[in-house]
Structure formats: structure tokens, C-alpha cells
Structure 1
Amino acid sequence: MCLMKKVWLHLIGAMALIVAVLAFTNRPTPVAASGTFKVGMECGYAPFNWTQSTSANGAVKIQGSSDYANGYDVQMAKKVAKALGKTPVIVKTSWDGLPPALTSGKIDAIIAGMSPTPDRRKTIDFTNTYYASKLTVVVRRDSKYAKAKSIKDFKGAKITAQLSTFHYQAIKQMKGVIKEEAMNNFPAMRVALESGTIDGYVSEVPEGITAQDANPNLTYLKFSKANGFKTSPEDVDLAIGLRKNDADKATINATLAKISTKERNKMMNTAVAVQPDTSSQGNWFLNILKQYGPMLLRGTGMTLLISLVGTIVGFVIGLLVGIVRTIPKPKTKGKRGLQWLVNWLLSIYIEVFRGTPMIVQAAVLYYGAAQAFGINMNKTMAALVIVSINTGAYISEIIRGGIISVDEGQFEAAHALGFTHLQTMMKVVLPQAVRNSLPAVTNEFIVNIKDTSVLSVISVSELFFSAETVAGQNFQFFHTYLIVSGIYLILTFTISRLFRLIEKHIDGPKNYNVMNNQMQVETPEVK
């Protein structure tokens, strides 16, 4: 069996396996008869919201996952959904992805500790307040700033806050501080604070309590009204985000009005009490695997699935594009014009997808397609499409280079024997081009395994996104990311060795000699 037949058979087999896996993993979630109320949140901002492995304490299952979400925001979402006569569905979404997820119809509401700032009101609408918050600064307990009584006592301190929040704007009130770049999430800020990269970060009191309870090395500061941040209700009070002119806004506001301040405080105290235990005793490695192993395993499976599908489909795309772009120039003018147009379009495809970051491509496809064309893609399917198309753009150039590297004399010899261009490519050129390109394709596979981390922008629960969730809950950042680094290393090392074996199999025996083998066949054995 020739090399190309082996390649195509392996590709067909791999694609059949992938289709079976996708059919199993992307089964539609049953929808209640009364409909669903899809709520977006980070599921990693305790005590407002977090991820857990069971339904304990009234947790709600996360859409497309085996995990559950709980916290103050989740319990509030349940009350709102009940008033609307719908079933609450939690959609785990990164902070930056919440507004586009809402406006594109991926979710029905944002309940994630979001303040109704003027900038946000330009794109989305808000309900009345569902929790009255207060700003604080989280610092290390052994820091000189731990004794600060006023926000004026931080001169020379390196302070930051979460990206796209009022917290970051409030740093302007802390005269004399060094305003560091904003960070994407609270786990990142806690890591920076504990490592000494920053001296503190602006947060809300409930999050400060959580940070202090979880890590004895951290503490949050209590400021008097005169010495604290000057804020307005729209800056610190938390509200539910809705699409413009949402018909349910009045019903939701009526529901919130029935929940007293006493009941809200009770809900928050309960959330603080039942949030995941971050204490660690014994072997940290075993503790993390025992408590969060299933979550990391699912993240690993998603990373491997996306990178495998992306590489295989991308290889097929790249192979086809590479063949088309190396077709000899036709003799007729009309065919030459058609070939020029096709090559021009393929060049645009290659330049666009090689010249823009995958994270931007994912956001444009997932959110942009829904907003512009009403195409509501499954996030896993969107990830597969983006990685496949992006990989195809790179591999097409790899294959084209492999084809060009084949000596022109082989083209001429094949044509002299009466081979068509397609026959020449399939029987003579591509076997050599594929073999020569295999190390580069292996590299693309390894790159895809690592680059799936950018898909957190569309809330795909791959390995890195799962690791962020775990680190944000157990506060063992170094230990968690060390384990995840080991998982990535095992994946890439294994893939590299498997492709080395494939290369050796394709190469055949090094001591193969055509003449000797022929003589052994033709010469009878002498006894």
C-alpha cells in the first residue's frame, strides 16, 4: 500500500473517531418545558460565584459541564429564574466575554458582581441593585501597608485591580501610588500579590474576606467613610445585566424589591460559610488531584480533542490548498484568470489567519457571528472550527514548501511517462512532500495543544481555563500551575514521540537495498 493511501486511511479513521466523540460530547442539554434562564458568570469569584464538583448547598449545574456553580450570584439567579417561571442555567464565561455573550444572545443575563457603570450602560441594560458593595484593598499581612488606615497611606505602593472594572478606575483616588496594569481575574492578582509583584489590589469586601480566610498571609483593609474610596451607587452597587429593552426587566426588578436587605446579608453570609475549603493538609499534590482531578482531567480531554481535530482537519485543508496553489499555469486565458482568482482568494485566507491572533479569531467567530448573522454556534464547535482553519493556513504553506522542494526532474519524468498533474501529485510528489513536512506538522500539533489556552475568551473549558478556576478556589497557584505544566509537558512529549515513530515507519528500514532484495527473489536458495 502506497504512502498516500495509508495517510488517507488514517485520516478517515481519525475523522470517524472524532465524529463519534463529538456526537457524544455535544449532545443537547434537555430544556425544561417552561424554558431556561441562561445566566453568565465567571464561576471563579468567591463568595459571589465559584465552581464545585457536586450539587451540594443548592448548586446549579454548569452548561456543557459535569461541574456545578454556587455562590451568592447563583442563589440570586435561582430566585430570579423562579419568578420568571424558568429553569436557571449557569453559563461559565470569562469576565471579558460576559458583555459580548449577552449582546450576542449566548446568555440571558449577567449576574457576576457587575456594577452598572455609565460605560457599560452604553451597550447593555441593568436592573436595580441586587447587592450593595463596598471597596477595600487586599494586601499582604506582613506588608507595611497592612497598617494603612486611609487610601492616602499607600504612597509608592504598586496597586492594581481587575480589568474593565470600576475598581481599576478607583485607583486614581490613591494619590502617589504606582498604578500597575490591570489584570484579567482575581486569581492572577492574588498570585501577583503573594509573589510581591504588587503591593495590593482594589476589591470588594466579600472578596477580601474570602482572600483573608483562604490565605493567612493576606488581609483586607477596613476604611472609615471619610478615609475610604469616594464612590457612587452605580460604581459599587451590583446589578443584573440585561440586553437593551429586555421584556423581563420589570419582573426582575419586582422580584429584587421583595428581597430585603436582611435576607441579602443572610445569603452572603451563607455563601461565605459554604464556599470551597481552601485549607491544605498533607501532600499538596494528592490533595489537588483528589479535589480537582476530575475537573483537570476534563480540561485535558477538551484540550486534546480540540488540538487533535484542529490538526487533522487543518492538515486536510492545508493539503488541498497546497495542491491547488502549485497547479501549473494553464494554457488558455480563461483558465489562467480563474486560477489567478482562486490563488488570490487562498492568499487572502492564508494572510488573514496567519496575520491575526487566534484569540481574536475566536471572539469574532463566536460572538461576531451571533451578533451579525444570528448564527448561534456551540462554543466547542466554534473552537474546533477556529483551530482547524487557523492550522490549515499554516500547514498549507508547509505543504506548498514541501511540494516545491521536490526536484523538478521528477515532475518532468512523470509527465514524460504520461502522468496527469493529479497522478503526478498523488503518486510521486505528495508522498515525498508529506514526509518532508511531517516534522513541521508535528510542531503545529504541539503548538495547538498549548494555544488552546486562548480559547478561554469564548469560555471553552480546556486545561488552562480549568486550571484558572482551580487556582482561584484553592489559592494554591504555584502548585496548581505546576501540575498543569506537567500535564502539558506529558501531552507534548507523548505527541512528539508518537510522530517520531510514524516518521520511522514511513522511512522504512535504513539498510534497504533494491538490488540485493531483487537478487534474493530471483536466485534460488542453494542447499
Structure 2
Amino acid sequence: MNPKKWLFPTLLAMVVAVGTIAHPFNTFPGNAQSSVGKDELVMITSPDYPPYEFYNTAGGERKIVGFDVDIANTLARELGFKLKIQESDFNGLIPALQAGRADFVMAGMTPTPERKKNVDFSIVYYEAKDTIVSLKGSNLKTPADLKGKNVGVQLGTIQEQNAQAIAKKTPMQIKQLNKVPDIIQEIRAKRIEAAIVEDTVAQGFIQSNPDLEYVEIPSEEQSGSAIVFPKGSKLVEPFNKVLYKMKGSNELETLAKKWFSQNTTALDAQKATAAAPKKGGLNINFGRLSLDDYLFILKGIPTTLLFTLSSVFLGLIAATGLSLLKISRFKPLQWFANAYTSVFRGTPLLLQLSLIYYAIPQLFGFDITPLQAGVTTFTLNSGAYMSETIRAGIQAVDKGQSEASMSLGVPYAMMMKDVILPQALKNILPALVNETVSLLKDSSLVSTVGVVETLRASQIVGANKYIYFEPLLTAGLLYYLMVMGLTSAASTLERRLKRSE
């Protein structure tokens, strides 16, 4: 055998093999990108769960950080993708994924048989333990001690399912809430006796609330966090390969130490603890909020006002059209307007918002942003309510006005635009102001689909600092000032209109 014929091919094969072993992920970017047909991945999360994901409020900025975010950035870098992060309430994450709004979810979510029926999971990248959180001295040490107690859990989490399993053996009342800070406040208000919370999250609340304590729940099977994908996603395999690599290189362990160590997990919480109020009194101390926290909340005001004013302006246009249809002599138009009003007045506003935000991309393939979904929903809803007010205002205008206009040969459209509607709007101005105020306060509902307005910003600060009252009271003051500003402007306009009569 001639060695020259096989030596070069053999050496070439060895070089390729060594290169593949040394860099097993080098081929991932091209393969992963070609499999999904894009170079940007959208991650959706619920950034009110430190240290997994939360807002860094330093300098009033709005940047989501945390353990999951660091892992996601590593995954994106290894696979050659750009990463975009969106947010939602925890119980809206999987619906958003199924509606095609995101490519994957990272939110400390645990694989369960029920969830696996609807979505796919990566390997578990972090294992955690459940704890019982209660007031000091409650002596709630084991699941058996929870018998007959009111126990809080976060809606849609593995802790909720674990609590249900415990309740089958140890009867207890389970209270489901959307956010862990709400659960902690329920304990402190003594509406519930305990809560089941993940250990890494419980640590931060204990550090900031010295009146609380927690104990780990013994379990043979600990819950763990995994990445969630739509059913049949082609990203599962490449993500798993990178996660295995991160486990093998101890990168996951390094990130866990960075975010979960006692001294680092709740840096802001430790600062808050230093300024924590003493026992007794009202137990409220606004000094626990930094200037950055206040700036972060204040940045929600422009979003709140933009949402409110846009909805009022567009809703007024829709309401005017509907009111004209209702007084039309053409019966089908009346039926349409009345049916429209009946639907939007007869169904919950939050239901309408959820349907528009989640259903439109799934049904029509059109991606609507959270703010657009909110403005659309509130425009349609307020249009239904204001149409009745405008109709009443039109009918309250003296009939002589319309009769005089018709006798002069003024066209109907011009008569309504220049004669009837101006008088009607002047008469119903107080009612329209009330509707505007209601919209401003109801604007907090858009936080459920990820819009960071004033209330959502205060909840984010509260979650980061593991406190409750101070951020919410700050938001309440800001809402009050905005409402008073709108009321004052409306009063000024009303006085001017009266002087012009």
C-alpha cells in the first residue's frame, strides 16, 4: 500500500475530528438560524421574580437583568442570535408563546406533565427547593403544620401545584395571587398564615422583612427551572447542547453563585433592610426607596398619559360615530350600534384586552404591540360607553336647532358637525371628563400584557426591594396628581365655554 495515498486523507480527517471535539458548537449558529429562518430570538419573561429576572432601576433605567437573562444572553451568543426580551405577567407567558409572540420563555418555570402537553421544555438548568414562609413565631415547620391554614401561592407556578398536592394529604385553604410580593403582603397583613415560595426568592424577602421566617420543605423530587418552547420548536436541541456545555464548564454554577449567593442575591434588599422601619407604628418608611427608584416610577407617567389621551381621543371619534348610528332612522345601523355597545359593556375589560392582545397574532398573523393592544381595547370599550353619553347629549339639544337648520337648507352632516354636536359636547363635558379619569385609572390594566406604566413601574420597584406599601403609595400619589390635573384643565375649559355663550 502506498502511504502517500492514505496519509493525507487520514491527517485531514484527524484535524477535522479534533476541531469538532474542541469546538462542538461552531456549527450551531448557521444550523440554528436556518432552522428557524431568522437571526433574532424573542424571549418573554415576568420580570418581578428576583433574582431570576427583574428590572435594574439604577439611574431610573429600564433594563431587565437576572440569572435567567444572563443564561439567555449566553445562549444567544453561542447560537449566533440577537436577543430581544419582552415581558408579561407569569400566567400570560405560555399564552403569549402559543400566540407566536415569543420564541421561548425563561421565568424560573418548572416542567410538569400538564405543561408538557402544550409546550416543550429544555433540560433543567437549575434545581430549587420550596419553602414555607410565615411570620416569626408561627411555628410552621412542615407541611403537616399547614393543616387548616390559609396558604398563599403564585398563580400558575409549580408551587401552586405542590400546594395542591400537599392539600390532598393535609387539608388547607389555598389562596392564589399573581405576584409573590402580593403573597408576602398577605402574610404580613395576617390574611393568610403562610406561603409556599421558592427558596432563592424567599431569601430576599426574609432579608428585607425581619418579621418573616422560612423553612425548606423536605422533598425527594425538587423542582427545577427549564426553558419553555412552543410545541415542535426546532430550538430545543441546540439550546440543550449549549446548556450541557454550560453545565460541563461550570458556567451555570458560576452564574448561580453570582445571583443566588446570600450577599449578592438581594443587594437592593440589604440596602432596604438597613433603612427598614423599626417595629411598631405604621411600618412605612419612604427612605427605603432610592432616588433611582422614584425616577423609575416617574418614567411610567408619560406612558400612562399617552395611553389615556390616545384612548380618549380615538374613543371619542368612535363614540360619535356610534351615537349617530343609534339615532339613525335606518334600523340595521341602529341594531349594529346597539349590539356593539351591548358586547363591549357586557364583557370584562380585562377579557377584551387579553383577547385582542393574544388572539390577533394567532388568528390574523399580525403582531400588535402591548401598547397598541391597550389603546385599541380601551378605544373600543370607551367608545361603547361614551356613545350613550353623546347620544343623550344630542337628544338633549333643543329640537328647534335642528328644525331651524333644516328650514335654512343646511345639509344634515353640516348641521350635526356645526350646530348639534358642539352644543351636545358642551353639555356632556363633565361626563366626558369622568370617562377620561376612569380611563386614566384603568390604564393600569395594560400592565398585564407587559406595558410598564405608572402602577407596573411601582410594582417592579416593590419586587426588587422586597417591599410593598411605599412604591404603591407613591404610584397612588402620582395618579391622584394626574387626575387633579385633568380635572383642573376640564374645569378651565368648561368656564371658558360658559363665558362664550
Would you say the 8 A contact 1:47–1:268 is kept in 2?
Answer: no
How far did 1:188 drift? 0.7
1:415 aligns with 2:406: yes
- Is 1:309 aligned to residue 297 of structure 2? no
Distance 2:98 2:336 in 1: 32
**What is aligned with 1:465?**
456
Distance apart, 1:275 and its partner CA: 4.1
161, 170, 186: which is aligned to 1:169? 161
- Cα distance, 1:144 vs. partner? 3.2
Question: Structure 2: how far apart are the matches of 1:77 and 1:256?
Answer: 10
SS at match of 2:125: strand
Counterparts of 1:478 and 1:53, CA distance in 2: 18
Contact 1:187/1:472 (CA < 8 Å) preserved in 2?
Answer: yes
Contact preservation (8 Å) 1:159, 1:177: no
Once the 2 structures are TM-superposed, how far is the Cα of residue 475 of structure 1 from its aligned partner? 2.2
1:111 to 2:78 alignment: no
Q: CA deviation at 1:221?
A: 0.2
1:128 is aligned to 123
Amino acid at match of 1:239: A
Match of 1:357 in 2: 348
Query: Is the 8 Å Cα contact of residues 361 and 386 (structure 1) preserved in structure 2?
Result: yes
> Which amino acid counterpart does residue 240 of structure 1 have in structure 2?
I
| TM superposition shift of 1:105 | 2.1
Instruction: Kindly report which structure 2 residues correspond to 1:285-434, keeping only aligned pairs within 5 A, or say none.
Output: 285=286, 288=289, 290-327=291-328, 329=329, 339-434=330-425
Residue 186, structure 1, aligned to residue 180, structure 2:
yes
Using the alignment, how far apart are the partners of 1:343 and 1:486 within structure 2?
Answer: 43
Corresponding position: 1:267 with 2:255: yes
Query: Whole-Å Cα distance in 2 between the matches of residues 122 and 94 of structure 1?
Result: 21
435-444 or 169-178, larger mean C-alpha shift: 169-178
Q: 1:160 aligns with which of 152, 173, 184?
A: 152
Unaligned 5+ runs, structure 1: 1-32, 56-64, 330-338, 513-527
| Aligned sequence identity (%) | 27
Shift of 1:472: 0.9
Query: Where does residue 230 of structure 2 map in the other structure?
Result: 243
Contact 1:43-1:51 within 8 A present in 2 as well: yes
Aligned to 1:180, what secondary structure does the other structure show? strand
Contact (CA 8 Å) 2:397, 2:424: kept in 1 or not? yes
Contact 1:276 1:473 in 2 (8 A): no
Q: CA deviation at 1:34?
A: 8.0
Change (3 A) 1:164 1:287: closer
Cα deviation for residue 416 of structure 1 reads 2.7
Deviation track 1:343-362 (CA, whole Å, cap 9, x = no partner) reads 22222222222222221111
Q: Would the aligned equivalents of 2:397 and 2:420 in 1 still touch at CA under 8 Å?
A: yes
What are the Cα deviations for residues 178-211 of structure 1, in whole angstroms up to 9, with x where unaligned? 3232000111111111221111111111112222
Shift of 1:66: 4.6
Name the TM-score, length of structure 1 as normaliser. Answer: 0.80
In 2, the alpha carbon distance for the partners of 1:392 and 1:47 equals: 42
The equivalent of 1:332 in structure 2 is none
Amino acid aligned to 2:240: N
Question: Aligned letter for 2:179?
Answer: N
Distance in 2 of aligned mates of 1:230 and 1:321? 62
Q: Check if 1:254 corresponds to 2:241.
A: yes
Q: How far apart, CA to CA, are the structure 2 residues paired with 1:135 and 1:475?
A: 18
SS of corresponding position for 1:161: strand
Equivalent-residue separation in structure 2 for 1:43 and 1:397 (angstroms) = 40
Contact 2:151/2:172 (CA < 8 Å) preserved in 1? yes
SS state at 2:400 partner: helix
What is the RMSD computed on CA atoms of the aligned residues? 2.3
Amino acid aligned to 2:303: M
Measured in 1, the distance between the counterparts of 2:253 and 2:148 equals: 36
Farther off after superposition, 200-209 or 407-416: 407-416
Q: After superposition, give the CA deviation of every residue in 1:203-251 in whole Å (9 maximum; x if it has no partner).
A: 111112222223222222034xxxx3464x6xx1211000111112111
Q: Structure 2: how far apart are the matches of 1:289 and 1:128? A: 39
- Structure-1 residue corresponding to 2:50: 46
Residue 79 of structure 2: which of 84, 87, 102 is its match? Answer: 84
Change in 2 beyond 3 A, CA 1:220/1:81: same
Which amino acid letter does the alignment assign opposite residue 474 of structure 2? I
Larger CA deviation: 201-210 vs 266-275: 266-275
Q: Aligned with 2:44: secondary structure?
A: strand
Q: Match for 2:40 among 27, 36, 42? A: 36
8 A Cα contact 1:83 1:252, kept in partner: no
Does residue 213 of structure 1 match 2:207? yes
Counterpart CA distance in 2 for 1:66 and 1:429 is 49
- Distance between the aligned counterparts of 2:160 and 2:489, measured in 1? 47
**Alpha-carbon distance in structure 2 between the residues aligned to 1:158 and 1:423:** 64
Q: Do the aligned partners of 1:170 and 1:229 also contact (CA within 8 Å) in 2?
A: no
1:143 aligns to 2:130 (yes or no): no
Q: Deviations over 1:272-319 (max 9, x none)?
A: 315441233569435525021222122121111100110111111112
Letter in 2 for 1:112: A
| Cα contact 1:34–1:87 (8 A) shared by 2 | no
Match of 1:24 in 2: none
- 1:435 has 2:429 as partner: no
The CA distance in 2 between the partners of 1:395 and 1:230, in whole Å, is 58
Residues of 2 paired with 1:320 and 1:97: CA distance? 34
Q: Deviations over 1:364-419 (max 9, x none)?
A: 11110111111111222222222222111111111001111123333323323333
Q: Which amino acid aligns with 1:300?
A: I
Letter aligned with residue 97 of structure 1? G
CA distance in 2, matches of 1:193, 1:269: 29
Tell me the TM-score normalised to structure 2 length. 0.84
CA distance in 1, matches of 2:358, 2:79: 26
- Please report how far the alpha carbon of residue 176 of structure 1 lies from its aligned counterpart in structure 2 after TM superposition: 4.4
Per-residue deviation, residues 105-137 of structure 1 (Å, max 9, x unmatched):
221111101011122122211111111122111
SS of aligned partner of 1:493: helix
Change (3 A) 1:276 1:324: farther
For residues 257 and 275 of structure 1, what CA distance do their matches in structure 2 show?
Answer: 28
What is the alpha-carbon distance in structure 1 between the residues aligned to residue 253 and residue 133 of structure 2? Answer: 21
Q: Is 1:482 the counterpart of 2:469 in the alignment?
A: no
Q: In the aligned structure 1, how far is the partner of 2:110 from the partner of 2:266? A: 22
Verify the 8 A CA contact 1:141 1:219 in the aligned structure 2: yes
Do the aligned residues in 1 keep the contact of 2:204 with 2:265 (CA within 8 Å)?
no
Secondary structure of residue in 2 paired with 1:138: strand
Look up the SS of the partner of 1:221 in the other structure. Answer: strand
Give the AA of the match of 1:400: R
Cα distance in 2, alignment partners of residues 433 and 93 from structure 1: 41
- Contact kept, 8 Å, 2:58 with 2:293, in 1: the verdict is no
